[in-house]
Structure 1
Amino acid sequence: MSIIICPGIHEPALTERFISGFSSLLSDRSIGNKTVDILVFPAEGFLALSSLHILQFLRDRLKDKLESPVIFISFSAGVVGAIVAAWQWQLLGGHVKAFIAIDGWGMPLWGNFPIHLLSHDYFTHWSSTVLGRRRDDFYAEPSVDHLTMWRSPQTVQGWWVETSTDISQTPVRLSAAEFLYSLIKRYDEK
């Protein structure tokens, strides 16, 4: 399985810190007995918005192995290019296991694959529900700065909110990195 990281428009060092903080939960970049291939789209400036560049990156790295399952993790402006690239990858016959948007506020998130949103505060979480209902999301509590969600997911505490149709489950307290790990583990097992 491959995890496709699509950064936003920010310093590349923040993405390195995100990967370090997130992969601290992965032992040797693996889940269980399986190796996880982490591919980072080298977004520079507005290329983060370009689904065509992200799709070309996928084709170059995966060599058109469409059967290879992928999970997208995108941040901020990178959500724009990543969601369209996920649709395009799927239209080509690719297997998108899940799409995870970190602070992708204001971006409609629809697709025929599971979509999850991590938000830096409750307002962003709440106001994003009008742009597409998801099953499992996370929001920071207490709220944090937008870039902190990307730079240090292991330090951001908050709530995993599970919603199934109109029935809400009891929220679970954990870090953003633990939430990401739980999602990836779930999709790796499927």
Structure 2
Amino acid sequence: MDIIICPGIHEPELTESFISGCFNLNCDRAALHPRGDRKLAQNPAHNILIFPEQGVLTVSPFKILQFLHNCLKDRLQSPVFFISFSAGVVGAIIAARLWQLLGGTVTAFIAVDGWGVPLWGDFPIHRMSHDYFTHWSSSLLGSGHNNFYAEPAVDHLSLWRSPQTVQGVLTDQSLGLYQNSDRLSASDFVHLLLKRYEEK
């Protein structure tokens, strides 16, 4: 499965931290450069790709779509799993819908702190929020059944910088958690979703 990471408007090092904390992989720094290699890391199950543009281009669905075409070529049916953050959610959700309209397969979409961004699509959508207010107010603009919010609340960037240390609440028990607990880390939440969609 191809995992497409769409960052927000922030330092590239934060995305490196997200990849390291969420997937326990070290990033190839050249892959974060706009003109560098687009492949971040590989493990037996996933091909992790990061949208390399920075600044306002992170919100461009057409740039993200071009990136997908460049990386995946004619592999439209290859399952794509989007993880987007902050302002990057704006372009990523539109790009995911366009990719599907072109015949691509979008397995699922995670919006990490995409506050104020309406989310809709013919694929599963999940929100991760840095506090309960962001979770509650964002869900008014669309969300799936399985979402995550930090408890206790953390600052906006911490959710992207250190997903392995941010503890929070799962809003739906259908994912099935260890020891019947609804508390987990942000990175555990991502792993649960990946496992769920890999099994389908």
Query: TM-score, normalised on structure 1?
Result: 0.91
Return the alpha-carbon distance in structure 2 between the equivalents of residues 184 and 51 of structure 1. 23
Matches within 5 A, 1:168-183: 172-183=182-193
Partner of 1:81: 91
Asked whether 1:16 is paired with 2:16, we answer: yes
Q: Any idea what the Cα deviations from partners look like across 1:31-65, whole Å, max 9, x if unmatched?
A: xxx52000000121001100000000000000121
5+ long unaligned stretches in structure 1: 165-169
CA contact (8 A) 2:6 2:51 kept: yes
Return the alpha-carbon distance in structure 2 between the equivalents of residues 108 and 171 of structure 1. 30
Partner of 2:161: 151
Return the alpha-carbon distance in structure 2 between the equivalents of residues 29 and 160 of structure 1. 28
Q: 1:133 to 1:23 in 2, by over 3 A?
A: closer
Matching residue within 59, 72, 92 for 1:62: 72
Return the alpha-carbon distance in structure 1 between the equivalents of residues 80 and 54 of structure 2. 22
Asked whether 1:187 is paired with 2:194, we answer: no
- Quote the offset at 1:134 in angstroms: 1.5
Partner of 2:102: 92
5+ long unaligned stretches in structure 2: 26-40, 175-179
CA contact (8 A) 1:6 1:43 kept: no
Q: Which has the higher strand share?
A: 1
Return the alpha-carbon distance in structure 2 between the equivalents of residues 140 and 15 of structure 1. 19
Return the alpha-carbon distance in structure 2 between the equivalents of residues 29 and 49 of structure 1. 26
Give the count of matched residue pairs.
Answer: 180
- Equivalent position SS for 1:35: coil
Asked whether 1:123 is paired with 2:107, we answer: no
Aligned-pair RMSD on alpha carbons? 1.6
